[in-house]
Amino acid sequence: MMLFRAFIILSVLYATLSLATPEDRKKSISVDADYAARNQITGETEYRGNVIIRQGSILIDAANVIIYYQNENVSRIVCRGSPATYQQQAANGDGLVIARAEKIEYHLSEETISLKSDASLMRNGTYIKGDSIVYDLAQGTWRAKGGTEGKQKRIQLVIPPLTHNTDNKSKKILNQNNSKSVEKTL
Protein backbone atom coordinates (compact mmCIF):
# COMPACT_ATOMS: atom_id res chain seq x y z
CA MET A 1 0.00 0.00 0.00
CA MET A 2 2.83 2.41 0.80
CA LEU A 3 4.48 1.68 -2.56
CA PHE A 4 1.16 2.31 -4.34
CA ARG A 5 0.75 5.64 -2.51
CA ALA A 6 4.29 6.70 -3.45
CA PHE A 7 3.60 5.79 -7.10
CA ILE A 8 0.37 7.85 -7.08
CA ILE A 9 2.14 10.85 -5.55
CA LEU A 10 4.98 10.74 -8.07
CA SER A 11 2.55 10.30 -10.98
CA VAL A 12 0.52 13.26 -9.85
CA LEU A 13 3.50 15.49 -9.40
CA TYR A 14 4.93 14.54 -12.79
CA ALA A 15 1.65 15.50 -14.46
CA THR A 16 1.41 18.62 -12.34
CA LEU A 17 4.82 19.88 -13.24
CA SER A 18 4.74 18.83 -16.88
CA LEU A 19 4.69 22.44 -18.05
CA ALA A 20 8.25 22.84 -16.88
CA THR A 21 11.22 23.25 -19.16
CA PRO A 22 12.29 20.01 -20.87
CA GLU A 23 15.27 19.84 -18.51
CA ASP A 24 12.96 20.15 -15.48
CA ARG A 25 10.83 17.21 -16.62
CA LYS A 26 13.90 14.97 -16.59
CA LYS A 27 14.67 15.80 -12.96
CA SER A 28 13.51 13.97 -9.85
CA ILE A 29 10.49 15.26 -7.95
CA SER A 30 10.75 15.78 -4.23
CA VAL A 31 7.93 16.55 -1.80
CA ASP A 32 8.47 17.56 1.80
CA ALA A 33 5.54 18.12 4.17
CA ASP A 34 4.55 17.51 7.77
CA TYR A 35 1.40 15.61 6.76
CA ALA A 36 -0.10 13.90 3.70
CA ALA A 37 -3.48 12.23 3.08
CA ARG A 38 -5.20 10.74 0.02
CA ASN A 39 -8.95 10.27 -0.37
CA GLN A 40 -9.75 7.79 -3.17
CA ILE A 41 -13.47 8.66 -3.11
CA THR A 42 -13.14 12.43 -3.59
CA GLY A 43 -9.99 12.17 -5.68
CA GLU A 44 -8.02 14.59 -3.51
CA THR A 45 -4.53 14.47 -2.06
CA GLU A 46 -3.69 16.95 0.67
CA TYR A 47 -0.29 18.01 2.02
CA ARG A 48 -0.02 20.20 5.12
CA GLY A 49 2.71 21.88 7.09
CA ASN A 50 5.57 23.63 5.31
CA VAL A 51 4.93 21.91 1.96
CA ILE A 52 7.85 22.17 -0.45
CA ILE A 53 7.65 20.61 -3.92
CA ARG A 54 10.72 20.66 -6.18
CA GLN A 55 11.47 19.49 -9.69
CA GLY A 56 14.38 21.07 -11.52
CA SER A 57 13.85 24.85 -11.54
CA ILE A 58 10.29 24.57 -10.17
CA LEU A 59 9.78 25.34 -6.51
CA ILE A 60 6.39 25.44 -4.77
CA ASP A 61 6.31 26.51 -1.13
CA ALA A 62 3.01 26.60 0.77
CA ALA A 63 1.41 25.85 4.12
CA ASN A 64 -1.22 23.63 2.47
CA VAL A 65 -1.48 21.99 -0.97
CA ILE A 66 -4.51 20.08 -2.29
CA ILE A 67 -4.32 18.17 -5.57
CA TYR A 68 -7.66 17.54 -7.30
CA TYR A 69 -8.27 14.73 -9.79
CA GLN A 70 -10.76 14.37 -12.60
CA ASN A 71 -11.00 11.03 -14.43
CA GLU A 72 -7.82 9.86 -12.65
CA ASN A 73 -5.83 12.84 -13.98
CA VAL A 74 -4.68 15.86 -12.04
CA SER A 75 -7.02 18.72 -12.91
CA ARG A 76 -6.12 21.43 -10.40
CA ILE A 77 -3.68 22.17 -7.61
CA VAL A 78 -4.54 24.65 -4.88
CA CYS A 79 -1.78 26.09 -2.69
CA ARG A 80 -2.42 28.26 0.37
CA GLY A 81 0.03 30.16 2.52
CA SER A 82 1.07 33.51 3.89
CA PRO A 83 2.07 33.74 1.09
CA ALA A 84 2.25 30.59 -1.01
CA THR A 85 4.93 30.82 -3.71
CA TYR A 86 5.51 29.30 -7.13
CA GLN A 87 8.67 29.84 -9.11
CA GLN A 88 9.94 28.36 -12.35
CA GLN A 89 12.61 29.06 -14.91
CA ALA A 90 10.81 30.08 -18.11
CA ALA A 91 11.01 27.42 -20.82
CA ASN A 92 12.33 29.92 -23.36
CA GLY A 93 15.20 30.93 -21.07
CA ASP A 94 13.52 34.28 -20.44
CA GLY A 95 14.34 34.37 -16.74
CA LEU A 96 12.59 33.29 -13.59
CA VAL A 97 8.82 33.51 -13.05
CA ILE A 98 7.96 34.16 -9.39
CA ALA A 99 4.34 34.16 -8.21
CA ARG A 100 3.08 34.84 -4.67
CA ALA A 101 -0.39 34.99 -3.16
CA GLU A 102 -2.39 33.74 -0.22
CA LYS A 103 -4.04 31.31 -2.64
CA ILE A 104 -2.51 29.92 -5.85
CA GLU A 105 -4.59 27.74 -8.17
CA TYR A 106 -2.78 25.86 -10.91
CA HIS A 107 -5.26 24.78 -13.63
CA LEU A 108 -3.49 22.14 -15.68
CA SER A 109 -5.90 21.85 -18.62
CA GLU A 110 -6.02 25.63 -19.05
CA GLU A 111 -2.29 26.02 -18.41
CA THR A 112 -2.96 28.95 -16.06
CA ILE A 113 -1.97 29.99 -12.58
CA SER A 114 -4.58 32.06 -10.68
CA LEU A 115 -3.21 34.15 -7.83
CA LYS A 116 -5.78 35.37 -5.30
CA SER A 117 -5.53 37.74 -2.36
CA ASP A 118 -2.41 39.90 -2.07
CA ALA A 119 -1.09 38.55 -5.37
CA SER A 120 2.19 39.40 -7.08
CA LEU A 121 3.95 38.17 -10.21
CA MET A 122 7.47 38.94 -11.38
CA ARG A 123 8.89 38.02 -14.76
CA ASN A 124 11.74 39.56 -16.75
CA GLY A 125 12.00 42.42 -14.25
CA THR A 126 8.32 43.35 -14.64
CA TYR A 127 6.49 43.32 -11.30
CA ILE A 128 2.68 43.13 -11.06
CA LYS A 129 0.74 43.36 -7.81
CA GLY A 130 -3.03 43.18 -7.35
CA ASP A 131 -5.84 41.47 -5.53
CA SER A 132 -5.91 38.79 -8.24
CA ILE A 133 -3.70 37.87 -11.19
CA VAL A 134 -4.17 35.18 -13.83
CA TYR A 135 -0.95 34.09 -15.57
CA ASP A 136 -1.14 32.04 -18.79
CA LEU A 137 1.87 29.72 -18.79
CA ALA A 138 1.58 28.75 -22.46
CA GLN A 139 1.21 32.29 -23.81
CA GLY A 140 3.27 34.13 -21.18
CA THR A 141 0.43 36.65 -20.69
CA TRP A 142 -1.25 37.96 -17.55
CA ARG A 143 -4.39 39.79 -16.35
CA ALA A 144 -4.55 41.62 -13.02
CA LYS A 145 -7.24 43.42 -11.08
CA GLY A 146 -7.64 45.22 -7.79
CA GLY A 147 -10.18 44.25 -5.19
CA THR A 148 -13.17 45.94 -3.61
CA GLU A 149 -12.04 45.01 -0.11
CA GLY A 150 -8.71 44.76 1.62
CA LYS A 151 -5.57 46.79 1.06
CA GLN A 152 -4.98 46.05 -2.65
CA LYS A 153 -7.82 48.01 -4.31
CA ARG A 154 -5.83 48.84 -7.47
CA ILE A 155 -3.11 47.06 -9.39
CA GLN A 156 0.49 48.19 -9.33
CA LEU A 157 2.80 47.60 -12.26
CA VAL A 158 6.53 48.25 -12.42
CA ILE A 159 8.13 47.96 -15.85
CA PRO A 160 11.92 48.01 -15.98
CA PRO A 161 13.64 50.45 -18.33
CA LEU A 162 14.73 49.15 -21.71
CA THR A 163 18.41 48.35 -21.74
CA HIS A 164 20.50 48.74 -24.83
CA ASN A 165 22.36 45.57 -25.61
CA THR A 166 25.73 46.21 -27.23
CA ASP A 167 26.08 42.77 -28.78
CA ASN A 168 24.16 41.39 -31.75
CA LYS A 169 21.27 40.11 -29.61
CA SER A 170 19.43 43.44 -29.81
CA LYS A 171 16.13 43.38 -31.59
CA LYS A 172 15.86 45.65 -34.62
CA ILE A 173 12.74 47.02 -36.23
CA LEU A 174 12.74 48.48 -39.69
CA ASN A 175 10.18 51.19 -40.26
CA GLN A 176 9.38 52.60 -43.65
CA ASN A 177 8.84 56.34 -43.35
CA ASN A 178 8.49 58.36 -46.56
CA SER A 179 10.67 55.91 -48.51
CA LYS A 180 13.40 56.07 -45.88
CA SER A 181 14.49 53.05 -43.87
CA VAL A 182 14.79 53.88 -40.19
CA GLU A 183 16.37 51.37 -37.80
CA LYS A 184 15.44 51.28 -34.11
CA THR A 185 17.10 49.13 -31.46
CA LEU A 186 14.86 47.98 -28.63
- For 38-97, the pLDDT digits (tens) are 998 888 999 999 999 887 888 999 999 998 888 877 788 899 999 999 998 876 666 888
The mean per-residue pLDDT over the stretch 175-185 comes to 33
**pLDDT-based confidence at 168, cuts 50/70/90?**
very low
Percentage of the chain beyond pLDDT 90 is 34
Percentage of the chain beyond pLDDT 70 is 68
**pLDDT-based confidence at 184, cuts 50/70/90?**
very low
Provide CB contacts within 8 A for 69, sequence distance 6+.
Answer: 12, 43, 44, 45, 75
Report yes or no: 152 and 146 within 8 Å, Cβ to Cβ: yes
Provide CB contacts within 8 A for 41, sequence distance 6+.
Answer: none
Apex CA 131: angle with CA 34 and CA 44, to 5°?
35
CA nearest neighbour of 145 among 179, 98, 86, 101? 101
**pLDDT-based confidence at 8, cuts 50/70/90?**
very low
Domains of the chain: 2-161 (2.60.450.10)
Phi/psi zone of residue 153: left (φ > 0), alpha (ψ -120 to 50 degrees), beta? Answer: alpha
**Confidence (pLDDT) at 127:** 93
